[in-house]
Amino acid sequence: MEQQLNQLKEEALGAIRSADSVRSLNDIRVKYLGKKGPITDLLKGMGKLPAEERPKMGALVNEVRGKVTEVLEARMAVLEEEAVSRKLEAEAIDVTLPGTPAGTGNHHPLTRIVEEIEDFFISMGYEVAEGPEVEKDYYNFEALNLPKGHPARDMQDSFYITEDVLLRTHTSPVQARTMEAKEGQPFRIICPGKVYRRDNDDATHSHQFTQIEGLVVGENIRMSDLKGTLDRFAKKMFGEEREIRLRPSYFPFTEPSVEMDISCFKCGGEGCNVCKGTGWIEILGAGMVHPNVLRMGGYDPDVMSGFAFGMGPERIAMLKYGIDDIRHFYTDDVRFIAQFHRAEG
Ligand code: PHE
């Protein structure tokens, strides 16, 4: 029995030494020291031994159990520590590695140009006004001296929703709305917003684009005020050396009507690809508010007068930044937008 016990001890110690995980060591503990294990069996079998051998054998079994327990516990401590450091190693973070750059956003070039234009006019005492994109035929056309059946309605192909409601084709309805709201008082407004036309999209056309409308109404507002304002504006947006020229044009809501060109900022007037060889670039439409429009807006054209202008900020941004396709503004390609990081803050 003593021999059997020694063999058991060697076997258990060998198993403990080669155990490579906390789990297998626990299995070994159950196998050798558990209630159904061989050591328990030996202790149970003691009763069959002659009385004089019992104390000696009892001591021996206890010694083996003590030794196996001790070695097992020591090995357990080592394996547990190893497991902890393996875990720590797996979770380790190299704080010296570079981080993932979050990137900073920037304004869309269109937002940027609209804000630049707004800032200029705000500095000249204008208020920013807004109006609905789904507009009544009355404000989009009638109140702007474009009665039903007027041929000039064809200048702006429209998306009708009902017979009397449409997606506004220009920001000019805000003129009519503002005149109504101001009830005969003088004012200066600038109105940026989306407009819609039944156009096929290509590099220079879009069924939805942006306009900025300007309107000044008061006593003694003259064509020279319009010209001076547009001249300042052109110089602010395209450089102090810019010249402007006004060409006669036609809009039903202004009389006289003009189109404004600026001297080419690329060639300075000699002729290049930007100005198509003419030395001039068309920027906007404008004119003196038509007496009919003033009257419908509640202003007496014998006492009050006004000027108005309308421009497309996409066109201005395209010229200013050399963008060759209007669709770039709406397709949200971040590579396009990211080129317009505001350097001036
Ligand atoms: N509303 C005109 C257009 O869309 C532009 C314009 C506005 C012209 C104001 C004159 C005065 O073509």
Question: What are the binding residues for Mg(2+)?
Answer: 255
285 lines ligand 1 (CB under 6 A): yes
Average pLDDT score over residue span 81-89: 90
53 and 134, same domain (yes or no): no
pLDDT, tens digit, 9 for 90 and up, residues 9-65: 888 888 898 888 888 988 888 988 888 888 888 778 888 888 888 888 888 888 888
The total domain count for the chain is 2
156 and 63, same domain (yes or no): no
pLDDT(222) > 50: yes
The CA–CA distances, whole Å, from 194 to 125, 154, 214, 322 equal: 23, 19, 15, 22
8 Å CB contact between 114 and 107: no
pLDDT at 32: 87
Both tokens of 340, joined, read 């317009």
Please, which pLDDT band fits residue 345 given cuts at 50, 70 and 90?
very low
From 59, 90, 121, the end of a domain falls on 90
115 and 19, same domain (yes or no): no
Separation CA 112–CA 161 (nearest Å):
31
Q: Which residue has the higher pLDDT, 193 or 65?
A: 193
145 lines ligand 1 (CB under 6 A): no
Distance of CA 237 to the CA centre of its chain: 26
201 and 263, same domain (yes or no): yes
pLDDT, tens digit, 9 for 90 and up, residues 109-145: 999 999 999 999 999 999 999 999 999 999 999 999 9
pLDDT(344) > 60: no
109 lines ligand 1 (CB under 6 A): no
163 and 43, same domain (yes or no): no
Per-residue HEC secondary structure of the chain comes to CHHHHHHHHHHHHHHHHHCCCHHHHHHHHHHHHCCCCHHHHHHHHHHHCCCCCHHHHHHHHHHHHHHHHHHHHHHHHHHHHHHHHHHHHHHCCCCCCCCCCCCCCCCCHHHHHHHHHHHHHHHCCCEECCCCCEEEHHHHCHHHCCCCCCHHHHHCCCEECCCCEEECCCCCHHHHHHHHHHCCCCEEEEEEEEEECCCCCCCCCCCEEEEEEEEEEECCCCHHHHHHHHHHHHHHHHCCCCCEEEEEEEECCEEEEEEEEEECCCCCCCCCCCCCCCCEEEEEEEEEECHHHHHHCCCCCCCCEEEEEEECHHHHHHHHHCCCCHHHHCCCCHHHHHHHCCCCC
Atom 5 in ligand 1: residue holding the nearest Cα: 310
Mutate to test the pocket of ligand 1, among 253, 255, 314 (most ligand atoms within 8 A of CB): 253
CATH code of the domain in which 243 resides: 3.30.930.10
Separation CA 60–CA 278 (nearest Å):
115
Counting every residue, how long is the chain? 345
Atom 4 in ligand 1: residue holding the nearest Cα: 170
pLDDT(228) > 90: yes
8 Å CB contact between 286 and 341: no
Q: Which of 277, 243, 238 is nearest to 260 (CA)?
A: 243
Q: Which domain holds residue 11?
A: 2-90
8 Å CB contact between 118 and 190: yes
286 lines ligand 1 (CB under 6 A): yes
Atom 10 in ligand 1: residue holding the nearest Cα: 286
In a domain, 195, yes or no: yes
From 39, 55, 90, the end of a domain falls on 90
113 and 218, same domain (yes or no): yes
- The mean pLDDT value of the chain amounts to 92
pLDDT at 241: 94
Atom 9 in ligand 1: residue holding the nearest Cα: 309
Please, which pLDDT band fits residue 343 given cuts at 50, 70 and 90?
low
In a domain, 98, yes or no: no
Separation CA 177–CA 140 (nearest Å):
10
Percent of the chain surpassing pLDDT 90? 59
Average pLDDT score over residue span 145-149: 91
From 61, 90, 119, the end of a domain falls on 90
Average pLDDT score over residue span 2-6: 83
25 and 78, same domain (yes or no): yes
The phi, psi pair for 95, rounded to 5°, reads -70, -5
The CA–CA distances, whole Å, from 252 to 28, 145, 236 equal: 99, 6, 29
8 Å CB contact between 207 and 290: no
69 and 195, same domain (yes or no): no
Separation CA 125–CA 104 (nearest Å):
33
Instruction: Give the CA radius of gyration of the chain.
Output: 44
133 and 73, same domain (yes or no): no
In a domain, 97, yes or no: no
In a domain, 201, yes or no: yes
Nearest atom in ligand 1 to the alpha carbon of residue 214 is 9
Average pLDDT score over residue span 166-184: 96
> How far is ligand 1, taken at its centre, from the CA of residue 309, in Å?
6
Average pLDDT score over residue span 295-317: 97
> How far is ligand 1, taken at its centre, from the CA of residue 272, in Å?
27
Please, which pLDDT band fits residue 153 given cuts at 50, 70 and 90?
confident
155 and 196, same domain (yes or no): yes
Q: Which of 344, 345, 323 is nearest to 336 (CA)?
A: 323
83 and 119, same domain (yes or no): no
> How far is ligand 1, taken at its centre, from the CA of residue 307, in Å?
11
In a domain, 99, yes or no: no
Q: Which residue has the higher pLDDT, 102 or 315?
A: 315
> How far is ligand 1, taken at its centre, from the CA of residue 293, in Å?
13
> How far is ligand 1, taken at its centre, from the CA of residue 269, in Å?
26
pLDDT at 12: 87
> How far is ligand 1, taken at its centre, from the CA of residue 238, in Å?
21
77 and 113, same domain (yes or no): no
